[in-house]
Amino acid sequence: MKAEQIKAAIPNLVTLVRVLMTPVILLELAHGHYLAGGWLFGGAAFTDIVDGALARRFGMGSKTGQYFDPIADKILLTAIYIGLALGHAVPVWIVAIILGRDLWILLLSSSALAFTDFRELKPSVWGKASTFAQVMAAVAVMGGYAYDSPVFALLGKILLGAVVVLAALSGGDYTLRGVRWLAGSRRRSLTCERGGSSL
pLDDT at 151: 96
Q: What is the CA radius of gyration of the chain?
A: 21
Of 186, 180, 178, nearest in space to 104 by CA: 178
Q: What is the pLDDT of residues 30-42, one digit of tens each?
A: 999 999 999 999 9
pLDDT band, very low/low/confident/very high, at 184 (cuts 50, 70, 90): low
* Cβ burial, residue 6 (10 Å; 0-12/13-18/19+): exposed
C-alpha to C-alpha distance for 157 and 190, rounded to whole angstroms: 50
Do residues 50 and 154 lie in contact, with contact meaning Cβ atoms separated by under 8 Å?
no
pLDDT at 199: 43
CA 30 to chain centre: 20
Of 153, 158, 160, 169, nearest in space to 93 by CA: 160
